[in-house]
Amino acid sequence: MTLADTDFTFVTGMVRQRSSIDLQPGKEYLVESRLAPVARKFGDKDLTALVHRLRRNDREACDAVVDALTTNETSFFRDQHPFDAFSNLMLPELKRNGGPTVNVWSAASSSGQEAYSLALLLLDWLPMNPGKTARIHGTDISPTMVARATAGKFSQLEINRGMPVKYLVKYFDQVGRDWIVKPEVRALTSFRQGNLAMPPVGLPPIDIVFLRNVLIYFDLPTKRQVLANVRKALKPGGFLVLGGAESTLSLDGNFARVETEKVVIFRNGGGT
């Protein structure tokens, strides 16, 4: 299935309007390959018919297209180093200088593996820090991903991608071929839909934001807007964790880089 140039422009414009994801010319094959299953799902004979459906503002089809073109690559304890820094650098700092509740925002939380990984580390930390509580707030642009994360159910393949055996045995129940997080893990987490390019709503003052491998999908103005929105939610001195190829430099001067090995971390300077 192939897309006409005008249809590609329409689809990428719609996706940008709804999700702020910037799909430039040159991504035609990616878009076509991801939309082909959507066309089949709706019984459309080709991508032209699917785009006609989108032009009629078929909400279900529009949501399915945005879902298909949103990258949801994730795994438990992905890249490991940020999670080591969470336990060894950020949590000790919050123990010394933070409030009674540690609030963590897993931005672009996808199907929940990052948020649940952080929750497992907090379940290790909380018993050693009486008087402290914690909450993981997951948000994602995709309602499908929000529903998956909320369910807390993962396939054996997903579990095999990074889940340590000690946590699997202690904090998951096996149901058929799937694994479901136990209530004590779920109690630390919540998930809801959210667009990073829009001001955050419903979040408490946040101590730590994980915003990893997300900025790379936005154009320059949107990157700046996303970082400004993060600062609105992040406490002064709060931590921002980015992906290995990302930085706030030249985008937002209110963040100061934390010198660490192998992890990209910034602290909020508290500017407006």
Q: Please check whether residue 74 lies inside any domain of the structure.
A: no
Q: Please check whether residue 37 lies inside any domain of the structure.
A: yes
Which residues span the domain enclosing 12?
Answer: 5-68
pTM: 0.84
**Same domain as 56, residue 103:** no
**Same domain as 93, residue 29:** no
Q: What is the CATH number of the domain that holds 199?
A: 3.40.50.150
Domain count along the chain: 2
**Same domain as 101, residue 60:** no
**Same domain as 102, residue 213:** yes
Q: Please check whether residue 76 lies inside any domain of the structure.
A: no
**Same domain as 131, residue 34:** no
**Same domain as 123, residue 31:** no
Q: Looking at 39, 68, 97, which one is the last position of a domain?
A: 68
**Same domain as 102, residue 22:** no
pLDDT tens for each residue of the chain, 272 residues long: 678 889 988 988 888 877 778 788 888 888 888 889 889 999 998 899 999 999 998 888 888 888 888 767 789 999 999 999 999 999 999 999 989 999 999 999 999 999 999 999 999 999 999 999 999 999 998 888 999 999 999 999 999 999 999 999 999 999 999 999 999 999 999 999 999 999 998 999 999 999 998 898 888 999 999 999 999 999 999 999 999 888 998 899 999 999 888 898 999 985 55
Q: Please check whether residue 12 lies inside any domain of the structure.
A: yes
> Could you tell me if 61 and 50 are in contact, meaning their C-beta atoms sit under 8 angstroms apart?
yes
